[in-house]
Each structure stands twice: as C-alpha cells, then as structure tokens.
Amino acid sequence: MTNAIAAHAATQPCAPARFTLEAVSPAIGAEVAGIDLRETLDEATIAALRSALVQHKVLFFRDQDITAAQHVALARRFGELEVHPVFPHHADHPELVLLGGTQASKARENIYHSDVSWREIPSMASMLRCVECPRSGGDTIWVNMAKAYADLPQAVKDQLADLEAVHDIMPSFGSRMSAEERAANRAKFPAVTHPIVRTHPESGEKILYVNEGFTTHLANYLSKGTFRVGFDYRYGEFELLQYLFRQAAVPEYQVRLRWEPNTIAFWDNRSTQHYAIQDYFPAVRRMMRATIIGDKPF
C-alpha cells in the first residue's frame, strides 16, 4: 500500500453503505445507487458488491468523483492488482492504466475481448473510470458470455467439451512494441491455453471463454475427430472459432453504457466480454482502469 493510499484509508471512516441495484438490461448489467465510493467501505458492503458483480456481471456507478489513489484503494479491496506491461500507467499509481486516443490517433479497443485473457492467470475484474468523454459517442458494450454459452445448441456444446483455445498477447499488442520489446514480452508472456468453456469459480456458471481480441486458434481440435483431408480440420477449426467469436455480437446478450465524467464501470472479466466503440474521433475520451488479478481458468 502506498503512503497516499494508506493516509486516505486512515482518515476515512468505514461506512456501511446501503446501496440499491437497478437492472439495466434483462441479460446483463445493473446501476448502483446510494453509495459514495470516496468512503472506505466496510467488509459487508464489499461482499455485497462482489455478490452483485457475480450476479449482474457489470455494475455502473454514476457521479463518483474519486481520486486516483481512491480508485486503486477501492479496486484493491477485491484482490491484488496487476500492472499492465504495454498500456501507459498513471505517474503515481502504476496499477492504473491510461486508456484513450488523442486528436491525432484513434484508440484501438474496438474489438470484443476479455481483458488479459492472454495471461496464464487472467483477471477477475476491471474497474474503469471515465475522466473525460465526448458529449456523444464513445459508448462501451458488455456481453454476458455465460448466457452466450447457455443458449448454444446442444450439438455445439457437445463439440466444445474438452476443447482448449490458445490466447496470445501479440496479435493485439505486438504492433505497439519494438522488436526488442516483442522479444522480451514473448519470453515473459508466452501464448497460453485455456478451456473454451470455463467454469465461474464463484457462481459455477459455464462460460464461453474465447474472444477475437486475444484467441488465436484451438489447441486440440485435430485430436477431437477423424478428418478426411487436411483442410477438413483446418477449415473446421477456423469456422468453429469464427462461430464462437460471433456470439459476443448478439444484442440480446449485451448492455451498452453511455459514459459521463466520473462514471465507473466494474465488470467481471471471467464471464463477460466488452467492446469500446470508437465513433468519436477526433474527440478525446480519457479513462483510467484498475484490473484485479483472478485465477487460472478451469
């Protein structure tokens, strides 16, 4: 804990919050009211927020004018925080990544993805605060990937049993690195394999866990069947993966947030994907994100 965070925690009382939840869409998302995230919340409130997160998958908080130190301290109540190896960081708090383009270049998060699925131990959740945003545009979409899996035809579920997928940092982030940085990050973050259908460690839900941002191919598709010639399995693998990617684009599984300054979105990376819509360039949207380390998918 940094000195700034410790000082804040020491001067703020523990406040038992009595918040309310209102569902935003039938499939995913709830808006939280009656809570002030500048205060140090008691353990019961943190536990209630975590339970709401697991249930609703993403929580929205409006009008939360918190400092960077308060942002880090709040996110840390839910677990250890990561330091992202590529995104720029807050000068005083490396756990906070700075997101958003400039008037000269667009941001590039407009692809369905789950944060850092390329890690051997991906994230549990992310907490994103809007610092500055345009008056229109720049919305973010979240997707309930547990529902996406539940609604798959049984024949597809049978096909997915025991299949694994490879997740890799390089397709999305390699172009931001020099050759030396690519070599160093490849050594530090080799491609990893996760089950296509992971189990949520808290709810027990089955989740479709592939995303077009970081999933490159299926690890063991060839071992799952007998194929006539090579292109049968090569095209079969490609077509199955593309079909699974498309599930995130189904509107019935989604919720869409219109950002305002000091809005916070807190989402479960284990059971969701998200897409940051890049329709506002050359206007600027500036965000800060803390990401909470999770557990190895199973």
**C-alpha span between 202 and 199 (Å, rounded):** 9
Chain-centroid distance of CA 182 in Å reads: 23
**C-alpha span between 84 and 87 (Å, rounded):** 6
Residue by residue, pLDDT tens for the chain (298 residues) are: 333 333 333 334 444 558 999 999 999 999 999 999 999 999 999 999 999 999 999 999 999 999 999 999 999 999 999 999 989 999 999 999 999 877 777 777 799 999 999 999 999 999 999 999 998 999 999 999 999 999 999 999 999 999 999 999 988 887 788 888 888 888 889 999 999 999 999 999 999 999 999 999 999 998 877 778 887 888 899 999 999 999 999 999 999 999 999 999 999 999 999 999 999 989 989 999 999 999 999 9
Class of residue 32 by CB neighbours under 10 A (exposed 0-12, middle 13-18, buried 19+): buried
Domains and CATH numbers, the chain: 1-298 (3.60.130.10)
Identity (one letter) of the amino acid at 178?
Answer: S
Q: Which residues are registered as beta bridge partners of 59?
A: 30, 266
Q: Which of 153, 138, 128, 148 is CA-nearest to residue 251?
A: 148
Q: Which residues are registered as beta bridge partners of 131?
A: none
**C-alpha span between 240 and 88 (Å, rounded):** 35
The token duo for 133 is: 């945003």
Q: For residues 96 and 68, is the Cβ–Cβ distance under 8 A?
A: yes
- Residues noted as catalytic: 113, 115, 274, 289
